[in-house]
A and B are shown apart, each in its own frame.
Chain A
Amino acid sequence: MTATHEPVEHVHGTEPAPASERVVIPVTGMTCAACQARVQRTLGKVAGVSDASVNLMMGNATVSYDPASTSPDALVDAIRATGYGAELPVADRSAFDEQEARDAAQQEEFTGLRRKAIVSGIVGVIAMVVSMPLMAATAHMAPGATTDPFMRWMMTSMTPALRSAAPWLYAISPVVLSYALLVLTLGVMAWAGRHFYVRAWAAFRHHSADMNTLIAVGTGAAFVYSVIATVAPGFFVRRGVPPDVYYEAVVIIIALILTGNAFEARAKRQTSSALRALAQLQPKTARVVRHDREIDVPVEDVHASDVVIVRPGERIPVDGEIVSGESAVDESMLTGESLPVKKTAGDRVIGGTINGTGAFRYRATTLGADSVLAQIVKLMRDAQGSRAPIQALADRVSSVFVPTVISLAIATFVVWFVAVHVGGATTGAATVRGFATAVAVLIIACPCAMGLAVPTAVMVATGKGAELGVLIKGGEALQRAGDIDTVVLDKTGTVTMGKPDVTDIVLAPDAPVTRDELLALAASLEKSSEHPLADAVVRRATEEGIATRTVAMFRSITGRGVSGMIDGTRVAIGNAALMADRRIDVAPLHADAERLSGAARGVMYVAVNDRLAGVLAVADPVRPTSRTAVARLRAMGLDVILLSGDTRRTAESIAREVGIDHVVAEVLPDGKVAEVERLQRDGHVVAMVGDGVNDAPALARADVGIAIGTGTDVAVEAADVALMRGDVTGVADAIRLSRRTMRTMKQNLFWALIYNVIGIPVAAGVLYPAFGLLLSPILASAAMAFSSVSVVSNSLRLRAFRPA
């Protein structure tokens, strides 16, 4: 990103400089030095602007301003007021703005297409009615031989009705009717179908061809043919061919294709609905405390460390850390977690989530593009834009598709011409037949369905994932995740909380203290210790509201434990060896200690005044959801492996608790990579699930790296999938969604390919010799319109995905 906002240092003697930022705004329409001076003068007058310089050659304005009194948008408005164009650089826009711009464009596209489709559809019906008397007028010349079979059917079934309903239509001269149709068709082509021709021409100039080329060539050829038949009918009549016109076909083809495009535009819009919903989570304003007053400011103007006020039921505007107050926050839109999460002072809140019934104040931390929501939106946008390898096939076909179809259409014309001509028909009749089939080939061929097959599925699937709190970082990850057969779970921080906790407090039979007093003494002493388990004891005391006291004569005995004096009481905490040193009998609690250490807990004896007082057990607790998550993975036929740096005994105990049979214990961080590689060598497609802290290399090495979210950092680099909810349940969702998406992609590709593989030959008339079946260009256009809509609709079915 090209950052154009940068702080500028102002030096005004020793006075503290006012906060200042600089922005570069591209200005358009300036042609002379006078223009430049005018823009510069205007900007200089804006309150809060300390310096403005406009560069005519570069076509931009560099403005230093005080962000407290003005904003880049206000500066843009000031420039526009002078009559020149200005726009903030696109690179500077946030993911939200880009999403909004895109939505607006898509909405506009849809409404425009719909209007054009409706109008040209009405005109098409009129054109069809008007052309019936025309066909009746020429039918005597070569009945049924040359006309479009669809129109022939229409004529035989509709003509009697029309004759009795509007006999006057048959009284009008065919010449007048032809010219009327010519004008009507030209109008539709120039208005509703204009973009087909303009774009086809633009593509042609670049030696490329797309869907528009096919439509433009197909309808253009039919139109030119009809114009000749209208202006110089004698040319046809002399050659024994009825001067048929195809105006109604041109109009109806345009109407049908526009209808298809409109549906496609709407469906395409729906594929990104999840992303749009995410972008809309971002509130526009925040209530902050400035100069002891509460004011509403746009979220862009919230600064880091501003204090933000959130009332009950409000959406939290930016990320931050609670300073005071407490509440329960609904984070379901980001994490998929349906229960509200309790938040109190010191907890982090995420912008875009909804506050429950409490009120609180919090300090803003990450803002703008760094905020969690912006990161998610950006990640999703990149993911939706990424390619799945399976698309390579569609791409290869797409890139040669249109020229190939044009060549096929030419070949179709030649074959039909020669076949009909050799069969004894006139040159004219042969031309007409060859012509109609060639146009049908051009119109039925549809490269769009192929181009949409994979990207729409990727878009819907990644969006659906985001709704479930599963961020899949792209099409490739999606495709690989669908093939996973082995899931490796890291133990610490993944299956377990990653944060040791006091699980048991057992008092000795004749303990000199109460349970709370025991915890208070232990916490007071452990506060000075650096042992990792000590932290768990202190935290537990804090959580229970037990105050710690001052320790005198603190001693740390390496490999044994700690001791000290608290209010005249001698306290020692440590292992059996420490107790033995002090001749303290641990026998009364021996059985408990054995039981606890057997269950993979760290055991600490506590002695008070040289008498055994109790035992504290500390363990990294298993996440309550881990067992269900593992069961779901195994039910899906996946091999689940627990990977741990702990001793075999600890690892196996955890594995038993969550229902995993396969344990790899005592591995070092590099050992994790080796284990993943070993599984891959055995032919497994491996997903590695970890917290991304010390297992990043293994995540990167695995076929799919899945990171357990910390709630604040979604962009774990090494991971292909990030789980917003801090547990393993999302893994099964990610894999199931990927499998289902792969099925959708394959269906889409199959239908898009088979549609063309069958449609083009049928339109070319391969079924004619055997069944006498020819496809009218009008039917061809209806088939084409349907094909892309069906592919997008199939992708949209992924929105109905439900986690098990």
Chain B
Amino acid sequence: MTTVDWVVIAAGVALIVWVLWFFFLAEQGAATAMAGTGGVQDVSVRVHGGYEPATIRVKAGVPVRLHFDRQETSSCSEEIVFPDFNVRRFLPAFQETVVEVTPPRAGTYEFTCGMSMLHGRLVAE
């Protein structure tokens, strides 16, 4: 084994560590829902290769109205799923789709795309 081999090994390991860190550990954008009129928390979520914001802080026990704005035609994001609320909705491309859920108690409620590849979460406090 020459120096070149060791360099390649070191670079490979570093790259793997970076990939794992980037996809699994790096912090994503969070947003807090605005308490709108009539006791409903309104949040706009942009859907484009992921959810923006991906973490949404809301108050538990109060209805949350999520406005999903799907800005792409990729079939990956064509559905939004809230497993805890048994909600699966089709998101038409370039349109806003409203999904209303009420987190019953404090906790984290995940939402994903139809294939569970894109992830976001509602953090109820």
Residues of A in contact (CB 8 Å), total 59
Q: How far is the CB of A433 from chain B (nearest CB, A)?
A: 12
Assuming A202-B49, A385-B79, is B23 touching A403 (CB within 8 A)? yes
Assuming A90-B98, A422-B1, A451-B114, is B49 touching A206 (CB within 8 A)? yes
Which of B23, B48, B74, B95 is within 8 Å of A207, CB to CB?
B23
Assuming A210-B117, A382-B88, A452-B115, is B19 touching A407 (CB within 8 A)? yes
Q: Is the interface of A mostly helix, strand, loop or mixed?
A: helix
Contact (Cβ within 8 A) A398 B8: no
Within 8 A of B (CB), among A202-253: 202-212
A786 neighbours in B (Cβ, 8 Å): none
A125 neighbours in B (Cβ, 8 Å): none
B20 neighbours in A (Cβ, 8 Å): 403, 407
Most buried by A among B13, B90, B97: B90
In the complex, A470 Cα to B52 Cα: how many Å?
A: 39
B100 neighbours in A (Cβ, 8 Å): 1-2
Most buried by A among B20, B49, B54, B75: B49
Size bin of chain B's contact surface: 35 or more
A102 neighbours in B (Cβ, 8 Å): 90, 92
Q: Is the interface of B mostly helix, strand, loop or mixed?
A: mixed
Closest to A203 in B: B49
In the complex, A753 Cα to B16 Cα: how many Å?
A: 23
In the complex, A195 Cα to B22 Cα: how many Å?
A: 22
B92 neighbours in A (Cβ, 8 Å): 90, 101-102, 105
Q: How far is the CB of A185 from chain B (nearest CB, A)?
A: 22
Most buried by A among B4, B8, B28: B8
Within 8 A of A (CB), among B75-100: 75-76, 78-79, 81, 83, 86-90, 92-93, 95-98, 100
Assuming A2-B98, A202-B50, A205-B49, is B5 touching A403 (CB within 8 A)? no
Taking the complex as formed, is A584 at the interface, i.e. its CB lies under 8 A from any CB of chain B? Answer: no
Taking the complex as formed, is A199 at the interface, i.e. its CB lies under 8 A from any CB of chain B? Answer: yes
Closest to B117 in A: A210
Taking the complex as formed, is A387 at the interface, i.e. its CB lies under 8 A from any CB of chain B? Answer: yes
In the complex, A25 Cα to B87 Cα: how many Å?
A: 25
Contact (Cβ within 8 A) A195 B74: yes
Taking the complex as formed, is B30 at the interface, i.e. its CB lies under 8 A from any CB of chain A? Answer: no
Assuming A418-B5, A421-B5, is B28 touching A199 (CB within 8 A)? no
Within 8 A of B (CB), among A174-217: 195, 198-212
Contact (Cβ within 8 A) B118 A208: yes
Q: Which chain A residues have a beta carbon within 8 Å of chain B's beta carbons?
A: 1-2, 26, 87, 89-91, 98, 101-102, 105, 109, 195, 198-212, 265, 382, 384-387, 391, 394-395, 398-400, 402-403, 406-407, 410-411, 413-414, 417-418, 421-422, 427, 447-448, 451-452, 455, 474
Contacts A101-B92, A265-B75 given; 19 further ones with Cβ under 8 A?
A87-B95, A90-B96, A90-B97, A109-B73, A109-B75, A195-B73, A199-B76, A203-B50, A205-B49, A208-B23, A210-B117, A212-B76, A385-B89, A406-B19, A407-B19, A410-B15, A414-B9, A418-B8, A448-B115
A sample of 11 cross-chain residue pairs with beta-carbon separation below 8 angstroms, ordered by A number, consists of A26-B96, A109-B73, A195-B74, A199-B72, A206-B49, A206-B52, A207-B22, A207-B28, A210-B76, A385-B81, A395-B112
